[in-house]
Amino acid sequence: MGPLVSAEEMSRCIHCTRCVRFGQEVAGVMELGMNHRGQHSEITSFLGRSVDSELSGNMIDLCPVGALTSKPFRYGARTWELSRRRSIAMHDALGSNIVVQIKHDKVMRVVPLENEAINECWISDRDRFSYEGLNSSDRLSVPMIKRHGQWHEVDWATALGYAAHALEGVKSQHGAQSIGILASPNSSLEEHFMLSAIAQGLGGASIDSRLRQIDFSADPGLSGAPWLGMAIEEVNQLQRLLLIGSFLRKDHPLLASRVRAAAKQGLSLSMLHAVDDDLLMPLANKALLPPSQWPRMLALILKQLRSQLALEAKPMPAVAPDMKDWVDRLAVSASAEQMQIAKSIAQSLQSGERKAVWIGSAAKSNPYFGRIHALAQAIAEHCDARLGILVEGANAVGAWQLGLQSIASKQANAKQLMAQAKKAYVLYQVEPELDHAAADGCLSAMSAADTVIAMSAYRSEAMMRYADCLLPIAAFTETSGTVVNMEGRRQSYSAVVKPFAQSRPGWKVLRVLADLLQIPSLAFETIEDLRVSAFAKADACALSNQVHHVSGLFDTSTDSLTSQDSFERLAEIPIYACDGVVRRAASLQMTRDARLPALRMNPGALHRLNAAAT
């Protein structure tokens, strides 16, 4: 059945068909079925197929007799030998509640903890099986310093002293603006608070956690932390949804499950994308266009909405003059086919009562994300829908609330940190060659820097080349913290096992580093004291997807010059490559979704190149 679900105990099967019904009713794909009849009946996968759904592991929990079992956990331990601890899944922004089962300070299994408001009684395979990465051979076990091109293991005092001295040296010689900090959006609220305070304490070092975003043109107009725009529970009641540039099934598996449930109740779903992604649910409208043409299609949808409101003599929301002129100009040159698609989507959004417009990960990595955000907001206002942004990372919302981004300031954003090489970099739970949108630029910038301090649970070959100081940080199961999920809900969790080898909780490492840098007001003794300060700062930032008018956002000189004969790259982040823990989970890397990256191209483009798909 594949690398995740074992059917070696099928002699126990009582043919209840729960696993079959789960695929049909929840996962959206029937991967198991019943062959033969009577006493010869058996549950099996389809001929030549394996169980590959991103939610397949839930079949294990549903099976009442243990006929389906976890293949990675099989023969690992007896269930009565395991201790159970509550925690939060850290691999997407949903914040699924989980139970971590441990034996001898080692995570042995992860199962769902029921929470109807968030993950119901399910978890994704990514959350269920990623624990294997916690025991990877890549774990960084001791602090290390590079001297004369050679790595040496050192004690914590030496390593932290080296890091503080290196940062102070760069600051004194080149100024604080020559220091850049990249933080993982999966890190806790407490860790983000410490990082933000250290950046300020250094005199204004640049810091950002929006690693996969490349267009920051709308930043000056942002008014708060981006979020889903509604409670997760409300997704099931949606009647109309416009999905802009999202690999929803792979980026947010359980959110896709809720949308699928809404579709069964009559949700009309429209999608704007560059890929004909199978969402395993019916689509009312579908616009497939190159990424550079997404703002054009959104402009046409907005034009159709405004035209309909004018015909019905209804009040029309205000639109910035430059946006209105840009939309009107595009409408004149649009083809009849484009106008028809836009009209169909607009008509869908105008009907119904509970409506939403969501911006996905592919749109956030679009070179015209600023325009997409502004146009999506205008569309939502014209059809009385809620605007939502599908953030990436367990604490992306919390990072924003704590100021881990440079808005309308002299500091550099994540893109500029690589384009304008800094003298010193601090990497916090980040592997920039895999986590940053500009991977090639990252390697060049890191190699050219005077010092690169990597605080990470893992080490990689690339990191060993560009870094000169490695500080082992505890993984999320080994430390306590808080995350803010996509609906703005705070959830705190506690360490369930001891830190690996000599690794330490990140907030404690940052506290000592702040002391060595002589940054005041960060001498917290407990995580609870730190949490109070972090919450107080986060409370000052509201949840808001509103973007105010930004001058030049619709400047025609920045319009795409892409011709129909040129190619545009759409870089999808594979479901099992989203962060360092998942990338090192052996069983997940054996699934169909984790195969080596492939190049996908439109059949027409292949024909023009006289090429063939293999």
Question: Region 562-584: what's the mean pLDDT?
Answer: 85
**Are 132 and 72 a contacting pair, CB within 8 Å?**
yes
The count of other CB atoms within 10 Å of the CB of residue 590 is: 15
Domains of the chain and CATH, by start: 1-71 (3.30.70.20), 144-218+400-539 (3.40.50.740), 228-389 (3.40.228.10)
What is residue 410's predicted lDDT score, i.e. its pLDDT?
A: 66
| Mean predicted lDDT score pLDDT of the chain | 93
Question: Region 35-41: what's the mean pLDDT?
Answer: 82
Confidence of residue 321 (pLDDT cuts 50, 70, 90): very high
Question: What is the β-pairing status of strands 5-6 and 69-70?
Answer: antiparallel
Please write the tens of the pLDDT for every residue from 243-258.
999 999 999 999 999 9
Question: What is the β-pairing status of strands 97-103 and 83-88?
Answer: antiparallel
**Are 200 and 174 a contacting pair, CB within 8 Å?**
no
Distance CA 509, CA 478 (A): 14
Q: Residue 207 pLDDT > 90, yes or no?
A: yes
Confidence of residue 187 (pLDDT cuts 50, 70, 90): very high
What is residue 408's predicted lDDT score, i.e. its pLDDT?
A: 46
Q: Residue 46 pLDDT > 50, yes or no?
A: yes
Distance CA 270, CA 252 (A): 17
Q: Residue 542 pLDDT > 90, yes or no?
A: yes
CA distances to 154, 241, 283, 298, 344 from 286, rounded to whole Å, are 57, 12, 7, 13, 9
Q: Residue 561 pLDDT > 50, yes or no?
A: no
Please write the tens of the pLDDT for every residue from 508-524.
999 999 999 999 889 99
Please write the tens of the pLDDT for every residue from 589-613.
999 999 866 777 777 777 888 877 6
Distance CA 141, CA 457 (A): 8
For residue 129 the two structure tokens come to 């099986």
Distance CA 140, CA 129 (A): 21
Dihedral class, residue 467 (left if φ above 0, else alpha if ψ from -120 to 50, else beta): beta
Lowest mean pLDDT among 98-102, 189-193, 401-405: 401-405
Query: Which of 230, 583, 557, 210 shows the shortest CA–CA distance to 361?
Result: 210
Confidence of residue 558 (pLDDT cuts 50, 70, 90): low
What is residue 353's predicted lDDT score, i.e. its pLDDT?
A: 94
Mutual angle of helices 527-539 and 189-201, in 10-degree steps = 80
What is residue 47's predicted lDDT score, i.e. its pLDDT?
A: 67
**Are 505 and 458 a contacting pair, CB within 8 Å?**
no
What's the alpha-carbon Rg for the chain, to the nearest Å?
25
Question: Region 70-99: what's the mean pLDDT?
Answer: 96
Please write the tens of the pLDDT for every residue from 351-396.
989 999 999 999 999 999 999 999 999 999 999 999 999 999 999 9
State the pTM of this model. Answer: 0.94
Question: Region 524-550: what's the mean pLDDT?
Answer: 95
Q: Give the SS3 label for residue 19.
A: helix
Backbone dihedral angles phi then psi of residue 448, each to the nearest 5 degrees? -85, -10
Please write the tens of the pLDDT for every residue from 149-162.
999 999 999 999 99
